[in-house]
């Protein structure tokens, strides 16, 4: 089998770069370890930066997003029993859009199917070969038979646990990591959201977040111990704990109901340098992880797609290799800035076991300063809606 670009990973970043390259006349094949049903069943973030929405429109998959996405022009920050609003639109002239990652992925699959492009699911034993030579290829096992894809380039969109990043030798690869001493317990419920915009809450018992997928589907989170188990959290216990961490006004009007999904996710910050080696390019979670506090995970993957798609299109147009060779440096510049913002949001809003009473009061003072400072609010708004590409 021969293609110009082999994409490892059929999640949103792999599908998006495949779509953009296809529209530029570049042949791609996507291979994915899981089934399509499994990929579409993942519950993930749904806050899209302005730039992400523009990229989806550029890819020709923005119609349903434009119809069904919920534009948010601000968000609430809560601490010490009160909340206040950061007005994104006022400070940046931009907004974010709430649109489930599952829906976005479905849109991208539909576009790929309509174009008749090659997507291979349920593959095993993926190995990258000759990544630094002119005879690059990928092998994998499908239905018990080994197959081979010869290609010009390989794009690793296969996540933190995928095979792409470990292909870069340890002597070349440098990894930076911060593991946080807590996780997020999240539930999905068929209830109206407590607020039309997100509420980020700092509390001495731990962080809480009120989010949504649509007007009838809510997503809520509470900070919890890494040693906690989902089965220890009944719906009743979750709702009671969430109410404790919110200011009185939203707590009083919160509509509760049975959860339809419940899970605990650990938090970490992780960055791999470089994001390219030979003919291999890393995109999204294969290269970096951010805590979800700043809503940057999917959006950072899309910014990687932006830089890499432009570089590959330039290459296939016969232009100089500058953009290809500079992909890692360009992408990492934005990755580090977005990771800083996610780290700041996480350290400001979460309860750390070793902070003590002094640390809690310092967090409250930081948030009080944010409430009273237009300059600080402008910085948060600029980062939240997304730094320019």
Active site amino acids: 72, 200, 292, 296, 384
In three-state secondary structure terms, 338 is helix
Q: Which residues, other chains included, contact 199 with Cβ-Cβ below 8 Å and sequence gap of 6+?
A: 75, 76, 77, 78, 83, 208, 209, 210, 246, 250
Rg of the chain (C-alpha set): 21
| Cβ proximity of 157 and 143 under 8 Å | no
In three-state secondary structure terms, 322 is helix
First-residue to last-residue Cα distance in the chain:
35
What tokens were used for 140?
Answer: 């994998």
What tokens were used for 181?
Answer: 């001493």
DSSP 51-84: HHHHHHHHTT--HHHHHH-EEESEEEEEETTEEE
- In terms of C-beta distances under 8 Å and separation of at least 24 residues, what long-range contacts does 356-361 make, across chains too? 360/204
Cα separation of 331 and 58, whole Å?
A: 19
Cα separation of 348 and 368, whole Å?
A: 11
In three-state secondary structure terms, 388 is coil
Cα separation of 339 and 265, whole Å?
A: 18
Tally of CA atoms within 13 A in the half-sphere of 95 that contains its CB: 11
């Amino acid at each position: 089998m021969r293609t110009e670009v082999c994409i490892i990973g059929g999640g949103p970043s792999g599908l998006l770069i495949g779509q953009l390259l296809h529209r530029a006349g570049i042949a791609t094949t996507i291979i994915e370890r899981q089934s399509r049903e499994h990929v579409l069943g993942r519950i993930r973030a749904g806050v899209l930066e302005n730039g992400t929405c523009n990229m989806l429109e550029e890819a020709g998959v923005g119609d349903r997003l434009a119809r069904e996405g919920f534009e948010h022009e601000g968000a609430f920050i809560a601490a010490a029993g009160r909340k206040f609003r950061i007005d994104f639109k006022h400070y940046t002239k931009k907004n974010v859009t709430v649109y489930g990652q599952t829906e976005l992925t479905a849109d991208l699959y539909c576009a790929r199917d309509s174009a008749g492009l090659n997507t291979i699911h349920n593959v095993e034993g993926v190995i990258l070969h000759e990544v630094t030579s002119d005879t690059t290829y990928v092998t994998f096992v499908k239905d018990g038979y080994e197959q081979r894809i010869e290609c010009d380039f390989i794009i690793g969109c296969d996540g933190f646990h995928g095979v792409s990043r470990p292909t870069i030798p340890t002597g070349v690869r440098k990894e930076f990591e911060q593991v946080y001493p807590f996780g997020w317990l999240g539930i999905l419920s068929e209830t109206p959201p407590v607020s039309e915009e997100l509420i980020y809450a700092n509390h001495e018992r731990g962080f809480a977040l009120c989010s949504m997928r649509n007007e009838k589907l809510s997503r809520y989170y509470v900070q919890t111990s890494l040693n906690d188990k989902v089965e220890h959290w009944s719906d009743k216990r979750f709702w009671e704990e969430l109410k404790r961490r919110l200011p009185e006004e939203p707590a009083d009007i919160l509509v509760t109901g049975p959860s339809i999904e419940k899970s605990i996710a650990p938090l970490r910050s992780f960055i791999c340098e470089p994001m390219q080696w030979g003919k291999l390019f890393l995109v999204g979670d294969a290269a970096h992880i951010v805590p979800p506090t700043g809503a940057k995970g999917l959006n950072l993957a899309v910014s990687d797609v932006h830089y890499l798609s432009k570089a590959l299109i330039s290459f296939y147009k016969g232009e100089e290799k500058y953009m290809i060779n500079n992909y890692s440096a360009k992408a990492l510049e934005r990755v580090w800035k977005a990771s800083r913002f996610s780290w700041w949001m996480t350290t400001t809003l979460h309860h750390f076991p070793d902070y003590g009473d002094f640390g809690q009061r310092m967090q409250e003072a930081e948030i009080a300063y944010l409430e009273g400072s237009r300059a600080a609010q402008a910085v948060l708004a600029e980062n939240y809606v997304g730094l320019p590409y």
